[in-house]
Amino acid sequence: MTMKILLENIRQLVQVEDKARTWVSGKEMGSLRVLEDAFLVIDDDQIETFGPMKDFNENLVEGADMVMEIDCAGKIVMPGYCDSHTHVVFPASREQEFVDRINGLTYEEIARRGGGILNSAKRMEQRSEDELFADAMVRLDEVKRMGTTAIEIKSGYGLSMESELKMLRVIKRLKANSPMIIKSTFLGAHALPVEYKADRQKYIKLLIEEMLPEIDREGLADYMDVFCDQGFFTVEETAQLLEAGWKYDLQPKIHANELGLTGGVQVGVKHQALSVDHLEHIGDDEIKALLASKTMPTVLPGAAFFLGMPLSPIREMIEAGLPIALASDYNPGSSPSGNMNFIQSLACIKYKMTPEEAINACTINSAYAMGVEKIAGTICSGKQANLFITRELPSYSAISYYFGANPVETVIINGEIY
């Protein structure tokens, strides 16, 4: 039986395009293509067509055995968020470190004492694949209800052959069991396990010579990540790892410039990274390198907010002509939230992005940052029917205005209503 879904009387249909674009950058980030009083037709799992209500006629839903009508009067319809940077497979929350930071310790001090990522790695050993899968499914369901329909998930809390593979196999199971679009990233170089302190190359060799071939054999990863930063992996080590990843066709998506001006952006760009993420520390050289590249600068406002870090100079970057993507970085240490509506609020309030810029950054640009711009990120005929309907709102700007809330009422993924 064929079914079409008709969304009618949509107050604002946001982020529409006739032809799939790659990304929006610079001044263009400030404009959003919006149809007022619109309709949209979904055919099976795809967006078929859309337009102003006055142009609607019954022929547009002909040919289906069944048409489901949804009245969207007073409501906003948006493409589902693409959250291009998360760590939603994790073994346990870390609120003790949150309290330690309130009492004066820094994130780096906690990490040096064996807390932080290493703390998660220790607990990872004790969690079974089934438990990790069940917990992550709950988190996926949580973010889906807040409008996220595509998500990238990293390994990196394993830090041993066994645990890294376990995490990646969990992500593979999530791909098979969740309706969301999921991309998987190998982040074995997230932190150096203590036992390799005296011989860093030994760990890097383990990543390159043992883990990568097995990951390739099982088809467990789409991308390659390294935490290239002060106290974590150096630029030289990052280059070595990214080259090794490319041998298996794993394009880099790296953590860079969170803790200092470390050269992370440049090494990412040099190795054709799809994205460089965090970017709290950005100077003229980084902007220049990015302008000459196809690498998406991705900012993670949740982590900067939660850790009280310096803010990325987003205004300067946009004014220089760059695109910006935003992602949640959902993880237990630096950003325990996957609410992309709140990420937009932070972007507007703290970084002075306009709502239009923030929406572009969470949809079309973050779709590019996870390699799904051809099928997601905008309302475009032929793209996957992944979108959400808000409750009644006066305009799309109210999404970032009502900070901390969830404006999402209905989520549609692949033409299925959730």
Q: Which residues bind ligand NIG (CB under 6 A)?
A: 116-117, 120, 227, 255, 258, 303, 329, 331-334
CB 374 within 8 A of CB 84: no
- Whose tokens are 């309709």? That residue is 39
| 15, 364 contact by CB (below 8 A) | yes
DSSP 198-263: T-HHHHHHIIIIIIHHHHHHHT--SEEEEEESTTSB-HHHHHHHHHHHHHTT-EEEEEESSSS--S
Q: Is the dihedral of CA 101, 299, 373, 17 positive or negative?
A: positive
Alpha-carbon distances of 346 from 18, 62, 106, 136, rounded to whole Å: 30, 44, 22, 25
Check binding of 280 to Fe ion (CB under 5 A).
no
In angstroms, give the least distance from the CB of 190 to ligand NIG. Answer: 6
Q: Are 124 and 167 in contact (CB under 8 A)?
A: yes
Output the known binding site for 4-imidazolone-5-propanoate. Answer: 94, 157, 190, 258, 334
Q: Show the binding pattern over residues 297-336: x = contacts Fe ion (CB under 5 A), - = does not.
A: --------------------------------x-------
What is the per-residue binding string for Fe ion in 210-249, x denoting contact by CB under 5 A?
----------------------------------------
**How near is the Cβ of 371 to ligand NIG at its closest, in Å?**
19
Handedness of CA 199, 203, 204, 209 (dihedral sign): positive
Residue 371 contacts which entry, Fe ion, ligand NIG, none (Cβ below 5-8 A, type-dependent): none
Number of residues that bind Fe ion (CB under 5 A): 1
For residue 240, the minimal CB distance to ligand NIG (Å) is 19
Q: How far is the CB of 93 from ligand NIG (least distance, A)?
A: 11
Q: Give Cα 198 distance to the centre of its chain.
A: 34
Binding at 116: pick from Fe ion, ligand NIG, none (beta carbon under 5-8 Å per type):
ligand NIG
Q: Least distance to ligand NIG from the beta carbon of 200, Å?
A: 18
12 contacts which partner out of ligand NIG, Fe ion, none, CB within 5 to 8 A by kind? none
Residue 383 interface partner, choices ligand NIG, Fe ion, none, CB cut-off 5-8 Å depending on type: none
Residue nearest to ligand NIG (CB): 333
Q: How many helices (H) and strands (E) does the chain have?
A: 16, 16
* Best CA proximity match to 324, nearest among 306, 350, 347, 349: 347
Complex with ligand NIG: residue 278 or 383, whichever CB lies closer = 278
Q: What is the helix (H) or strand (E) element at residue 78, kind and residue range?
A: strand 75-79
Give the one entry of ligand NIG, Fe ion, none that residue 117 binds, where binding means its C-beta sits below a cut-off of 5 to 8 angstroms depending on kind. Answer: ligand NIG
Residue 333 near which of ligand NIG, Fe ion, none (CB within 5-8 Å, type-dependent):
ligand NIG
Residue 356 burial (10 A CB sphere; 0-12, 13-18, 19+): buried
Residue nearest to Fe ion (CB): 329
Residues that bind Fe ion (CB under 5 A): 329
